[in-house]
Amino acid sequence: MSARFVAASESELRPVSPLRLALARFVANRTALASAGVILAFLLLALAAPWVAPHDPAEADLFRRLQPPVWSAGGEWAFALGCDGLGRDILSRLIWGARISLFIALMVIGLAAVIGTLSGLAAGYFRGWVDTLVSRLVDTLLGFPYLVFAIGLMAMMGPGLHNIVLALVYKEWVFTCRVARGETLAAREQDYVEAARALGCGPGHIMLREILPNVLSPVLVVATFRMAYVIILEASLSFLGLGVQPPTPSWGAMVADGRDFLVDAWWVSTIPGLAILALVLAINLASQGLRDAFDPRLHPS
Amino acid sequence: MTMAEPLLAVRGLRTVFPTRRGLLAACDGVDLQLAAGEALGVVGESGSGKSVTFLSVLGLIRPPGRIDAGEILFEGRNLIRLPAAALRTLRGRAMALAMQDSLSALNPALTIGTQIVETILAHGLARSRAAARDRAVELLHCVGIPSPDRRLNDYPHQFSGGMRQRAMIAIALAAEPKLLVADEPTTALDVTIRAQVLDLIDRLRRERGLAVALITHDLGVVAERCDRVMVMYAGQVVEEGPTAEVIARPRHPYTRGLLASLPSLEDPDRPIDAIPGQVPDLTHVDAGCRFRNRCPLAVELCMQPVELRALGANRLSRCIRAEAVA
C-alpha cells in the first residue's frame, strides 16, 4: 500500500464537524477572509494600545493644536494623523478609542447573545406562557427606536462605560432571542429531540445539549452582524456626549470634537469617521461570509 | 411480580387529539400484553394508531394530545399515574424507542460517541466520561459497527444508512432497557441491511430477554421475526394471535385484505387485491364495526358494537363473522 493511499484514507476517516466544514467555506471566501483580517488588525491594535500608541491619548499640547496629518504641509511623522483641537495625537486616540469601541461592542454582543439565546431557547422549547412572556417583551422592546431608547436609559443612569453596555444590552438581546426562538421552534420538532425525550432526557439537557448546538450557527451569524450596529450606536451615543466621558478617547466623541473645525481641519472628524466605517464594513462583510458559510441552502454539496 | 405476569400490559388505552372537527381518538380501547424476551409485531396501515399506542406507553404524546382512559402497567406500575419526572427516568432506562429515520433521529451537530456517552451519563450508568466512552465502544461493537473506537468520533452524516440505524439502536440500548419499541426500524433500508438490523434486534431479544414491539406495515417482516402479531385498524386492535396462525388463517376481513394485497412470490401473476375504500374519519366513528364500509362480509348486524373476542387458544378477533372469514 502506497503512502499516498494511506494519507487519503486517513483524511477521509477524520471526523468532519459541521462547524469545521463551515469554517473551511469561510476561509475559501476571500472577501470574508480579508474582512476578518481587518477586524483582527483592529483587535490587535486595541489590545496592544499601551505599547503601540506613540503618545498618551489624553496628553494635550496646545502648540500642536490642529496640526495636520503627515501628508499635508506642516505635518510630521511623530504625529502621523495630525492633532485635534486640544493638540492631542489623533493616531494615539484612535488606537485607544478602538479599545473602547471594541470592548463595548464585544461586551454588549456577548451579554446579549447569552441572554438572547437562553431566553429564545426557553421560549421556543417550552412554548406556552414562557413564550408569550418573552415574545411580548421582545415586541415591546422592538417598538422603541433603538437610539432613543438608549439615550433615555443613558440619561437615567448617567454616562460611563458600564452604563453604555447596560443601555445597549437592554435592547440588543432581542435580536438574538428572536433568531434563537425561531430556530428552536424548528429544532424541537425534529426526530432527534423526540429521540432524546424517548431516552429519558430532561428539558434542560435537551435544550442545552441537543438543540443549542443546532441553533448556534445562526445565532453566531446574527451576533456578528449586530456587532456592526452596536459599534455605530456606541459611536452615536459618544457623539451626543452620552457615552464614555472625556478624556477617555472614543471614536464617536472624536468625531464630535472635530465638528467645529470641519472646514479648517477636516481630519479631526474624518479620520475617526473612516475608522468607524472601516470596522463596520469589515464586520458586515465578515458576517455575510459567515452566513454564506453556514447556510447549506447556498452550498448544495 | 410473578414470572407469568407480562412486562407490559395495556388495558383500554384511549389517546385523543383535539382537532377542529372534534376529538380524534387515535387509539381507542387498545389492550395488549408483552412479556420479556417476546417480540410482538404491530401491523396496520398509516393512521391505524399503532405508533400512537406505543408513544402513549412511552409517555411521549405531546399536548394537546392526551391519554383519555385506560391503564399502562409496566412491571406492575401504572405509568399513567406516574409523575413526569419518574416517567422520564423510566424512559431510556426501562424502555426505549428506535425510530424509522435514523438520519433525523440522530443529532446532526453531535458525534455518535457524544450522543451515546451523554445518554449513559444522563442515566448515571457510568462513573466517568472515560468509562462511559468505553461502554459506548462496547455498544457500537455489539451492534456490529467495525472499528468502533474510531467511528465514535464520526458525525451521523459520515455513517451509511444501515450503520446509522444500528448506531441509533446502540443509543436506544445504552441504558439497557427492558422494552424496545422499534417504530418501522427498517422501512428506509434496503433488503440486505434490513436483515442485518432485524438480526441484531433478534439477537438482543434472545440474549438479553429484551421485549420488542416491532411496529411495521410490512407483514413479511412480522412473519419472519415475531411470534405474535397484533393487527390494528382505525385505532382499534382488530386481530391478535400467533403470527403463523394469523397469516395462515386470518380471522378478520381486514387482516385477510392486508394479506391479499401482498404480492406473492410463489404466484407472481396473482392479481393484487387492494382493499377498496378508505379508513373512516376518526373524529366521527359510531359504535359499530369500523371496517364495515370496506368489508366484503359486512351485514346489517355490523352496525352493532363489536367486541374483541377470543377464538380458541390465543386468538382474538373483532369481527362478528370471524368464523366466516377464510
Q: Are B172 and B201 in contact (CB under 8 A)?
A: no
Question: Is the CB of A192 less than 8 angstroms away from the CB of B168?
Answer: no
Say whether both B221 and B292 belong to one domain: yes
Crossing angle of helices A18-28 and A30-47, in 10° steps, is 100
Beta-carbon-side half-sphere exposure of residue B283 (alpha carbons within 13 Å):
7
Cβ of B65 under 8 Å from any chain A Cβ?
Answer: no
Say whether both B115 and B137 belong to one domain: yes
Q: What is the mean pLDDT of chain A?
A: 84
User: Which of the residue ranges A22-26, A171-175, B113-117 would you say has the lowest mean pLDDT?
Assistant: A22-26
Answer with the one of B156, B176, B196 that is the final residue of a domain.
Answer: B176
pLDDT of residue A15: 60
**Mean pLDDT throughout A191-208?**
87
Residue B106: exposure state from Cβ atoms within 10 A (0-12, 13-18, ≥19): buried
Shortest alpha-carbon distance between residue B66 and chain A (Å): 16
Say whether both B203 and B316 belong to one domain: yes
- Domains, chain A: 31-298 (1.10.3720.10)
Question: For residue A86, is pLDDT > 70?
Answer: yes
Cβ of A204 under 8 Å from any chain B Cβ?
Answer: no
Higher pLDDT, A235 or A17: A235
Partners of A89 in the beta sheet?
A: A83
Indicate yes or no: pTM above 0.90. no
**Mean pLDDT throughout B113-136?**
88
Q: Let me know if residue B43 belongs to a domain.
A: yes
Cβ of A186 under 8 Å from any chain B Cβ?
Answer: no
Question: For residue A21, is pLDDT > 50?
Answer: yes
Question: Is the CB of B111 less than 8 angstroms away from the CB of A15?
Answer: yes
Cβ of B21 under 8 Å from any chain A Cβ?
Answer: no
pLDDT of residue A301: 40
Residue B76: phi and psi, rounded to 5, are 85, -5
Nearest-CB residue to A192 (from B105, B150, B172):
B105
Q: Where residue A76 falls among pLDDT bands split at 50, 70, 90? A: confident
Answer with the one of B134, B156, B176 that is the final residue of a domain.
Answer: B176
| CATH number of the CATH domain containing B294 | 3.40.50.300
pLDDT of residue B3: 46
Question: For residue B303, is pLDDT > 50?
Answer: yes
Residues 6 or more apart in contact with residue A291 via CB below 8 angstroms: A221, A225
User: Which of the residue ranges A18-22, A102-106, A287-291, B91-95 would you say has the lowest mean pLDDT?
Assistant: A18-22
Say whether both B208 and B310 belong to one domain: yes
**Mean pLDDT throughout A8-32?**
71
In this predicted model, what pLDDT tens digit does every residue of A162-185 receive, in sequence order?
Answer: 888 999 999 999 999 999 999 999
Partners of B11 in the beta sheet?
A: B71
- Residue B131, C-alpha cell as written in the block: 468509562
pLDDT of residue B4: 54
Q: Let me know if residue B3 belongs to a domain.
A: no
Could you give the CA distance from residue A289 to residue B45 in angstroms, rounded to a whole number?
A: 47
Question: For residue A8, is pLDDT > 60?
Answer: no
Answer with the one of B176, B211, B239 that is the final residue of a domain.
Answer: B176
Domain extent, residue B147, equals 104-176
Say whether both B188 and B273 belong to one domain: yes
Terminal C-alpha separation, chain A = 30
Could you give the CA distance from residue B115 to residue B98 in angstroms, rounded to a whole number?
A: 14
User: What's the Cα-to-Cα distance from A73 to each of A14, A88, B52, rounded to whole Å?
Assistant: 60, 18, 84
Q: Let me know if residue B1 belongs to a domain.
A: no
Residue A47: phi and psi, rounded to 5, are -65, -40
Question: For residue A4, is pLDDT > 50?
Answer: no
Say whether both B233 and B191 belong to one domain: yes
Could you give the CA distance from residue B323 to residue B326 in angstroms, rounded to a whole number?
A: 8
In this predicted model, what pLDDT tens digit does every residue of A204-222 receive, in sequence order?
Answer: 888 998 899 888 888 988 8
For A17, nearest residue in chain B (alpha carbons) = B155
Cβ of B78 under 8 Å from any chain A Cβ?
Answer: no
Say whether both B158 and B202 belong to one domain: no
Contacts of A213 in chain B (CB under 8 A): 107, 109-110
Say whether both B73 and B196 belong to one domain: yes
Say whether both B85 and B223 belong to one domain: yes
Cell 447549506, residue?
Answer: A296
Substitution target in B87, B89, B107 with the highest count of A β-carbons within 10 Å is: B107
- How many structural domains are present in chain B? 2
Contacts of A216 in chain B (CB under 8 A): 109
Shortest alpha-carbon distance between residue B1 and chain A (Å): 24
Q: Where residue B174 falls among pLDDT bands split at 50, 70, 90? A: confident
B positions 113-142 inside 8 Å of A (CB): 118-119, 122-123
In this predicted model, what pLDDT tens digit does every residue of B39-63 receive, in sequence order?
Answer: 999 998 888 888 899 999 988 888 8
Which residue from A98, A91, A104 is spatially nearest to A56, judged by alpha carbons? A91
pLDDT of residue B181: 92
Contacts of B92 in chain A (CB under 8 A): 198-201
ipTM of the complex: 0.76
Q: What is the mean pLDDT of chain B?
A: 86
**Mean pLDDT throughout B213-224?**
87
Say whether both B171 and B268 belong to one domain: no
Cβ of A195 under 8 Å from any chain B Cβ?
Answer: yes
pLDDT of residue A14: 58
Question: Is the CB of A15 less than 8 angstroms away from the CB of B101?
Answer: no
Cβ of B106 under 8 Å from any chain A Cβ?
Answer: yes
Say whether both B191 and B43 belong to one domain: yes
Q: Are B156 and B164 in contact (CB under 8 A)?
A: yes
Question: For residue A1, is pLDDT > 50?
Answer: no
In this predicted model, what pLDDT tens digit does every residue of B2-25 receive, in sequence order?
Answer: 445 789 999 999 999 998 888 888
Q: Where residue A297 falls among pLDDT bands split at 50, 70, 90? A: low
